[in-house]
Each structure stands twice: as C-alpha cells, then as structure tokens.
Structure 1
Amino acid sequence: MNKKSYTGKNIIDLPQNFTVVQLESADLNSVTDDITEFSARKYKNNKLVDQLDNENVMDNPVNAFASLSDFIGNDIVVVNRTAYFWPFIGNAYLSFLNRPFPNDIVDIQRLFKYIENSQRAKLDIMIKFFQLNTTHNLIARDDIESVSQVYQKLKEDFNKKKLTIKNIQPKHKKFRISDLEDNPEKHDSTNKFYGKVVSASGEISSYTRKEIAQLITDIGGKFQITPGKKTDYFILGELKDGISNKEKKAKEFDVETLTEEEFLNIVASYNN
C-alpha cells in the first residue's frame, strides 16, 4: 500500500491560533505538477504575528517545504479548497520531506457553505459576497490576503448569527440521492468522474459522504449509495471492522477501487 500523504483531519472549527497557507502550482494535476510558490501567515489570538513567502519553490524544494513545515509547527492550517490543497501539499511533503503532511486543516469553502448557507463557495464568490478589496489572481502572496480576510469575515458572521460549532457541523446521518442538487452549469466534462457512477465506503477524512456525493454530482457524475453492476469507481476509506459489505459488492462487480488520495487527485482540478 502506498504511503499516505496526509494524516490530519479536515475539521469544522474557527481557531484563534492558526496558520493560513496559500499554494500556487504550474497546473492542476496534483500528481504531475509542482507547487511553484506558497505564502503562509501565522496568527495568534487572531492577530498576524509572522509571515513566510516563497516565490521560487522548485529552486530548492527541500529547503522550501522544510521551512514551511517549521513555520506552521503544530498549527491548524486554514486553506481554500481541501480537494486542491491536500493532494498538492501531501505529494510535496512525501516527495521532498519523505513524510506526510500532518496538520489538521480548516477549509474556508466548507465554512462558507455552512455559515452562509450557500451552495457555491469559490474564492471569487466569497470575495464578492464580503465586498473585499482583495484579488484572486493566482499569485500566492496576493491570494492569501483574500483567504485570510474571508476567514475573518466568516468568524464575524459566525458570531453575529450567534452560531455554535455544533450548529455548523456537517450532518453525518444517512442521506438520500434526492437530497443532492444537480446543476448542469457546474458540470466538468474534462473530469474523470464526469458521466461516471461512483460509490464509497469507509471513513474518509477530507469530506463527509454527502459532500463527496454532492461533489461527484457537481462534476456531472452519479453517486450511488451501494455499488452495483453499473458502478465505475468505488472510493474506499479506512474500515474499522475489516471488509465492508459495500467493498464486497465492489469486488463482486469488479469495480475499480480508489483510495481517498486517488479520489482527491482526480477532483483537485475541479473548482466550479
């Protein structure tokens, strides 16, 4: 089995001590493309205390990611879009530091959906929603200001609405396929999951099962609660009690099985 490239959790929280990290890459394939630049901002008690920028990561990637790791320390990391961040940073840590990325992350897109009750949460949408005077121009030191300010605005709204962390936790209860919203404008015909039938089983740390199902639907695929003859892909997370009934079904129908990381590598380029 391949070594896991990240070991933290994707959590719903609003920490006061955290590090914001913004990555930029040559392209959107997390397997073949490199991180070209990154920016990081460290906050203590919600106040900026330090920053780190590297605009030429691949000049010396070992030093670059070692310095980023030292800068982050044990902090929770605030990011924009788990499906992009985790596969890119995880692959980089394995390649250049020979270890997985260990920190828990907080994804502002997930927070935005739960705090603002929004179905869409691209960075451009959040900048416009909060009427920020920041940009999204794919330059790390610029875009990190947008990510940082969006996070602060989300905290403000969280407090204004008198919410609790429990209020905004995604529900892990069983869902129906009819609960999913299918918007053809969000489909991506270039993605591997487009037009495909996908199922899942086991504990997946990046998203809830319903979030995965909605993501597959957004791309233009079809999520299936239980794998069957027409299933194309089966995402398998960690299982606590050996093989699951769904995994048995997937094996019975010879469905291609994906790890959580393989799933994230496929959806890394999707951002509609």
Structure 2
Amino acid sequence: MLSVLLAKLIATAVVVVGVSLAVGKLGPRLGGIIAGTPIVLGPGYFFMLRDHSTEFIQAAALSTLHALVATLLFSISFVVTAGRLSALASLGLATLCWVPAALLFSRVPGGVGGAVLMYLAILLLAEGIRRGLRLRQPVVVARSGWFDLALRGLLAGVLVSVATTLAVKSGPLLSGMLVGFPVGLFTIGWTLHERYGPDVARATVSMAQKGMLSLVAFGVVTAALVGHLPPMGVFLLALLASMGVSATLFLISQWRFRRALASRGGTLDS
C-alpha cells in the first residue's frame, strides 16, 4: 500500500512540475493553453479510470464537478478577504468555505447538468464581484520559483495518491472531492500574496475563475463517456476537451485585447 501511495505521489508531482515548467518556457500562447489543463484532475482520473468501475467514475466525476463549484466560492472568499488579511489567513478562510460548500453541493439534485448550471450561476456571481471590486490587472510577470513548484507538486501528489488509494474505501464522493480541491489556486494565492502583494494575488486568482471551465469540461466528458469507451479513450477525450476549452478562452482573451488596443489607436507586437 505504501509503495502504491508513493508511486502515485511521485508520478503526480512530476506531471505537475513538468507542466508548470512548460507553461513558463513555451510563451504566452501555448503556455496559456497548457496552464488550463487539468494537472491535478488528470493524474487523479488516470489512476481511477484504470482501477474502478463505471459507476464509481461517474459518481466521482459528479463529486468533482460539485467540488469545482465550491472552488469558485473558495476563489471569491480569497479575492474578497486577501486585501485585508494575511495570505494564510485568507486561504484558511477560503478553505473553510470550500469544505462545507463541496459537501452541500454534493447533495443538490440534478446530476451533471445541475452541477454545470450551478457552476455557471456562481461564475456570474464571481464576475460581478470582480467587477465591483475593480481589481487591477497584475503589473508583474510572476514566474514560479522552485519552492512554488515543489509545494504545488507535493500537495497535488498527496491529494491524488490519497484520493485514488485510501479514500476510495469511503466511496467515490470523497475521492472526487479530493481531486477537485484547488491545489493550484491555494499555492498561487499564497506565493503571489507573499512575493508581490495582495493586489497581484487577488487579480490572478480572479482571472483563473473563467479558466476553470476547462476543468468542468474534463469532468463532464469523463462522466458522459465512461462506460461507453475504453478507460484511456475516455481520459484522452476528456483531456482534449479541457484543452479545447482552455484554447478557446485564451483566443477570446487575445481577441479582446487586440480589439481594445486597436480602439485606443495602439499597436501590438506580433
């Protein structure tokens, strides 16, 4: 059992660190797309799809979608409080919001469709709060240091190994929730708050709210296709769907940026 836990922890940490490094090396276009990939959900469901039944995966995917709805509340809590509290205090409060919210949303009927509608509704709320706070865009290029990468990889590895090995004994609800915990937002919020201040951290976390739609796509495709295709076929299609949503969001943001720049009579380097 211990060897299995360690193998999954190390494998997940390698994936997380590798993707994070690639984001910084490939430039804003490809890096932005890759940053939206499910670097924690991916390894988690890779292991679960190999080892568990269709019914288990469907229930776990629905639990993950509910956890992603709770993650929006996590991000809202951090954005609202990080300007007045320390990084760890605001993240602790956000986590205290996430845990009961994930449990509560898991009891809401409606299946996958209901979870997606809940996500979209709270995303609108988050967007309204972001606009109301008038958060400024980050003015620094915040690159991850080795401490950030190691922390993110370690936390992700622990969550995935526990969720896919130990938590499965408690059923798919707990497994799906654990792999849906916002490891990325937690580490990004912490390190940016400490290194660049609350304004950069709040703006960055708020910008990630729409990007999480790529994770929603991963969960929806997994729930819809499991049992109809081979497990690795489900995994690959879910990953492609996630990357497609991330690429679409990135291209839309680029188009809006170019249009805004053109309306001001500016120029944009290619």
TM-score bracket, normalised by the shorter chain, equals: under 0.3
The structure with the largest strand share of the pair is 1
Greater fraction helix? 2
TM-score (norm 2): 0.26
More RCO (CA 8 Å, sep 6+)? 2
TM-score normalised per structure 1: 0.25
